Copies of this chain bind each other. A is one copy, B any other.
């Protein structure tokens, strides 16, 4: 069966019909009784060789447009086996183009159905329950488990037959005094029992007992001691209310409403460029927005005022290695995009909750494990926000001030990764800047700590609640930037600011400094030691020179400073997180190199990912560079991060440098009271406005 003539676009995310058709192709290639566990069903994007001419023709209004075959990438298991396959279906030709079984060291991401199924099995397993019984939990306690990707240490896997896919299950319970509350925060009650389960047989392989002290000492199951009562820590209003702690309300009552009102509507327009894809235009920006299982939100073909800037922008992966070296925590390193998928974990965003103002919601459709198309409503929200002053100047002689406010257009998606949340947003502004903002929130991953040690400094974490340790951990994000700054064939340049030596003629007073720009000629990495050279990375087009100053058109990168991965270079944490050791990697564009940590991160051992690709030392004088920007934070938890942590906010900014003749926000109408309708709380300014002096001159 060929899916044909759908009003589609080479970059349009897969439609429900395409998902079903693709999984049907795979099914039909196997005996009828075969059962499948689909892990990935996603658009295989066309090659640059095909897509660039298409997009150029599309923009030029050429008709008909080139024909590009519609391909789908699938990954699946034969259910209840370790037989893991990658397949490519060509929907245009109606062909299964390839279907390959992968080796035993490749393991797929987790999926929602699998995780829920494993939880059920673990919570009913007699051996697990026998271990838990040693804790003598209060009568009626309700257990909860969070299955985690197992990680890798290259040693422990050997305990399992041919590198089995397993999950490590962390166990908790609801507040025993409030066991019926489905949303009781179980992370406040971590338990030291941690079953490991085989994802093929769905049998418990082993039950790990966690170290709960300051050292590596671990009790056997038989030595487990009764749980010591501890208080809850709740965050869900109806659960908090059930705690009846005497106060009339658990909430402050003096925060007055603040609303964002756009009486003439929003300034952006959204069109369907395909059934599931959306083209957005806002203030000279023009981009296509897609959504897929692995990366979630993806931006394509980003232009400003008709100028090509970025071919593709996406978050390519994350790695979150934990500090605790003790078994089983030593394997704890999440790759949330590779291990599960940013699309799969995307929240259904709600009006009045996740965004403020006038919001457009975009949905997606992904495959479930059965290969059926499943709607993912409201996974991306779009809105405008005020962002303070964009620029201002006052001529002090005339007192004439001109103020222009900054406006931002935000594309936001939010992931729930088990205990944790990531709020991810692309932010565009009126001055030609693009920012990628990450807000890390949710609940820190917790583990039990012996009550008598609570007040002793812990080497690997912070006690955030009685009996609860939150281990230190690093967060690494890798942003994949595939640029086309005023055209393809860009050059990455690093710019260092360097003192010039004293010189009796040129620098007799020792104050001079200069800026040295160095193009990167082969693929590799760059480090940024701001305190040394103030290094700034520029993505440039050496062929397009600024009409006034002759400088190459460029977008420069502002990265928050990052401490590289602390796990040593021989460790599997480091080997697997192929992007966490340097803030910048540059590779030469190659098809299918989309994910900084490699295609299959689950139980990976390194050797696939951006470090490997960059080490090819490809010449960058031909082809296109792909720039991988790493940033992150070292999270040393605070008591204030529990039960739900206030956002840690990180922003990467891409700013034009010598792309535009002058300030591109110079044509934004100056700030005006007629438009802004602000309110003076103490009347002072209304007077000055009435007098027609500064007030009216500023708000012309």
Contact = CB atoms under 8 A, between A and B. Distances in A.
Given A530-B563, A639-B658, A695 B350 contact: yes
B662 A640 contact: yes
17 contacts: A251-B669, A255-B407, A257-B264, A258-B260, A347-B401, A353-B672, A354-B389, A359-B678, A360-B681, A391-B441, A497-B634, A499-B566, A502-B568, A515-B636, A530-B561, A640-B657, A640-B658
Given A391-B441, A392-B442, A511-B571, A260 B680 contact: no
A330 interface: yes
A173 to B, nearest CB: 14
A459 interface: yes
A640 B664 contact: yes
A551 B462 contact: yes
Given A215-B506, A472-B497, A514-B323, A644 B260 contact: no
Contact of A361 (B442, B666, B680): B680
Contacts of A546: 639
A110 B401 CA distance: 22
A542 interface: no
A150 B333 CA distance: 57
A388 B647 contact: yes
Contacts of A507: 325
A398 B637 CA distance: 26
Interface string A202-216: 000000000000011
Q: Tell me the number of copies of this protein.
A: 2
Nearest to A527: B531
Contacts of A32: none
A266 B255 contact: no
A679 B359 contact: yes
B454 A548 contact: yes
Given A510-B568, A515-B472, A548-B464, A497 B636 contact: yes
A694 interface: yes
Given A357-B679, A466-B548, 17 more contacts: A182-B397, A235-B666, A254-B283, A257-B676, A260-B386, A347-B401, A354-B389, A354-B392, A385-B386, A392-B421, A454-B548, A498-B566, A502-B568, A509-B573, A511-B572, A533-B563, A536-B636
Nearest to A394: B416
Contacts of A657: 638-640
Contacts of A233: 662
A671 interface: yes
A663 to B, nearest CB: 5
A590 interface: no
A518 interface: no
Contacts of A509: 153, 155, 325, 330-331, 571-573
A644 B568 contact: no
A352 B455 contact: no
A183 interface: yes
B688 A378 contact: yes
A353 B472 contact: no
A514 B418 CA distance: 25
Contact of A639 (B463, B495, B662): B662
Given A350-B699, A465-B548, A472-B515, A264 B260 contact: no
A636 B495 contact: yes
Contacts of A502: 568
Interface in A458-488: 459-460, 462-466, 472
Contacts of A510: 325, 567-568, 570-571, 573-574
Contacts of A674: 352
Contacts of A677: 257, 259, 352
Contacts of A574: 510
B391 A645 contact: yes
B358 A679 contact: yes
Contact of A460 (B514, B530, B647): B514
A60 interface: no
A560 to B, nearest CB: 8
A259 B261 contact: yes
A363 interface: yes
Contacts of A655: 638, 640
A301 interface: no
